[in-house]
Structure 1
């Protein structure tokens, strides 16, 4: 390590002291050909054409969520990219606002501009872009990033601080091995998540076909046999529609209200300054934050735990496994079926299992009717839907046999989805435990490979 220490900040000295002395001491500006940022003003959105403007809130789970961007004119786009044009393998790093530290390595060919986001262009002769991505994601770096921000109302990390940020650089061969090992885990996680997206889409499409579009009924009306359905299942559907308060419904189907077919409860937050409510930490307690980064409609664990005393301080108590959770504010619409017993805070409406309509049906019903749910919300500071406003929402209830047959199919898909999510979270935990040890040079590559093979064997056995 360099003997010149007088010019370095305590942060640089501490961070670089974590790494082996054989690794090169460099700065982010030295390992990148460019460290810059995007626009700080607010270009006006355009209604037709235009280019997406990516902000920190669009960087989620190491991907760019273009659905939360808006489009700006060609003139504004050209002005922004004149100083910060992103290309494949560049790294976007949120450096202003509540998402500081979130990042993504660009892998999209969509042309876009950036705002309140820093842009790093790795010098590939010095640093592997994937290694740099993992380096910036590691806990040792993220902790220092969050501890180095300035400002209170709007935290930020300036370009000056980013350009001098220390980077400990191993040999290119070591970088490629580290990137490869962590990349293998990410590839496996990505495959499981892609499979789950497909499983969820199949179940949602089947829900829409049977319970929204009434495809089997309409097929019979037209003298056709319902598609992709065995004869016993087809026999459960009538061939006629009749008027109802919700429009035309299959004969024999009912209209009810959510509150009449499922028990809906809320939660609370015990005094956070009273340690007896939180220690010993024995029981799961969830807030919508637990679902904010989730890519599956499943809750397997919670960020916080509480004591039995804390549970007794919440009127709804400990809710059973299989409870459907709907975030009721800030924002409305996160959904997950809990796979554990847990208590909830006041940001949820929880739908308990055991009623005539199973939570899985209600999950897809909520997805299909989210705009209706949101239309019942109100509030001045933020929009919220209360249990009182939620319970009267009308819901179509099919005959029990049809509902049971749907659950046979969708339930099997959901069980696979849950198991895939368990495996994904196990792999994520392994990746997150390996990452700081690999990035700091404290774990031999052969040891990391053995741990991955061991995890793969356990996954295959399950």
Structure 2
């Protein structure tokens, strides 16, 4: 680890006072001191409004706990190594956490940023058990590159600005997701006087009655299959072959590529069916209700029931309709090893549907909501990547800052 000019290399043990939690869990929680566990570290500063457990001084003393002073760095020492937060009020920690109280050479904020980048170092030195574990000595031996205080402050100022942008985008994303959820509830649960309908192409409110339709009435339902894995000629062809893992990894409702592909021979010599573009694939085994729409011809494995929409039905509308009724599919599933819905039960699920034009209008509104969610998610991912790259440069001194700009 190269030390930049003007910086020093220290360890967390020399830079901080360590606080190791007591060995025992409190027997009761009746006080006002937050009792922090790893799942409670959900933000840069803790405790958050979601904090649930609190202890009294007597309860803390009874179990041998220790009070962690304000402005300490709290770090996960078991499991999720590198997860850190700063406490804005005195707290007590459970046994899986470790606290650092910084001395004069380093600021709390700088140390928190530094430790959040040291996961690989921690994993390399953790006890080789099922769950990675750092003891007190491991925690105190973590090396830290320490710039002068004013440079630390400037680095923190820059990274905090990125954190603020990330937090703002996360909130916008959460709001958009809630708005989409409310729209789905409003638009996909049938016509009702209390729910305003959308406008048709002539600017008039839709007024037609919604009718219950079985999934088999919405289109042709086809199952999937897996070609013989011992026959090389059935695999590595040009036909997409969808698995539940492909669907759960999607960033949108459309699938364009799959991890594995099969050949035309694989289709001919298995129960896999070639589905046209615009088909809806529905997971009906294990990952019940995961959905995707094909943008090209595709096959699936046997974990799917697939819908080729019929005349009078819009695939995007069916997608959102089924997405809004996942609980109905889970309710109909059965099985001891894993849950599964039979083709017959799947085909007989009844859901309320409007006429085609209203389906299309509803799908357009929900697609717009989805597009905004996708835009915000992409922006969030980009901000996080840019911050990660910036941290790598700033915290190692590869990119220096002008300390005279510190406010």
- Contact persistence 1:94–1:103 (CA under 8 A): yes
> Which residues in structure 2 correspond to 1:14-163 (within 5 Å)?
17-20=1-4, 22-37=6-21, 55-57=37-39, 59=41, 78=60, 83-85=65-67, 89-97=71-79, 100-106=80-86, 114-123=93-102, 125-138=104-117, 141-163=118-140
Structure 1: stretches of 5+ with no match in the other structure = 1-16, 220-225, 239-250, 450-462
Instruction: Give the drift of 1:349.
Output: 5.8
Between the aligned partners of 1:28 and 1:122, the Cα distance in structure 2 is: 10
Instruction: Give the drift of 1:319.
Output: 11
Does residue 441 (structure 1) correspond to residue 393 (structure 2)? The answer is no
Distance 1:264-1:317 versus aligned 2 partners, 3 A rule: closer
Distance 1:405-1:136 versus aligned 2 partners, 3 A rule: same
Aligned to 1:218: 193
Aligned to 1:254: 212
**For each residue in 1:385-418, what CA deviation from the matched residue of structure 2 results, as whole angstroms up to 9, or x when unmatched?**
5675766554333332222222222222222222
Between the aligned partners of 1:74 and 1:327, the Cα distance in structure 2 is: 49
Between the aligned partners of 2:93 and 2:9, the Cα distance in structure 1 is: 30
Q: Secondary structure of the residue that 1:218 maps to in structure 2?
A: coil
Aligned to 1:421: 377
Q: Secondary structure of the residue that 2:213 maps to in structure 1?
A: strand
**Aligned-pair Cα RMSD in Å:** 5.6
Task: Kindly name which structure, 1 or 2, has the bigger radius of gyration based on alpha carbons.
Answer: 2
Between the aligned partners of 1:311 and 1:194, the Cα distance in structure 2 is: 47
- Contact persistence 1:217–1:237 (CA under 8 A): no
Instruction: Give the drift of 1:131.
Output: 2.1
Distance 1:299-1:34 versus aligned 2 partners, 3 A rule: farther
Q: Secondary structure of the residue that 2:20 maps to in structure 1?
A: strand
- Contact persistence 1:88–1:105 (CA under 8 A): no
Does residue 395 (structure 1) correspond to residue 339 (structure 2)? The answer is no
- Contact persistence 2:74–2:97 (CA under 8 A): yes
Distance 1:102-1:184 versus aligned 2 partners, 3 A rule: same
> Which residues in structure 2 correspond to 1:339-358 (within 5 Å)?
356-358=313-315
Higher share in helix: 1
> Which residues in structure 2 correspond to 1:164-313 (within 5 Å)?
164-212=141-189, 214=190, 217-219=192-194, 235-238=205-208, 251-257=209-215, 287=245, 298=252
- Contact persistence 1:39–1:80 (CA under 8 A): no
- TM-score for the superposition, normalised by structure 2: 0.68
**For each residue in 1:108-143, what CA deviation from the matched residue of structure 2 results, as whole angstroms up to 9, or x when unmatched?**
88x9865453132442743333322221222xx211
> For structure 1, which segment, 75-84 or 252-261, has the greater mean C-alpha deviation from structure 2 after superposition?
75-84
Between the aligned partners of 1:32 and 1:299, the Cα distance in structure 2 is: 49
- TM-score for the superposition, normalised by structure 1: 0.61
Q: Secondary structure of the residue that 2:133 maps to in structure 1?
A: coil
Count of residue correspondences: 388
**For each residue in 1:276-303, what CA deviation from the matched residue of structure 2 results, as whole angstroms up to 9, or x when unmatched?**
x99xxxx999848976xx9xx64899xx
Between the aligned partners of 1:101 and 1:386, the Cα distance in structure 2 is: 40
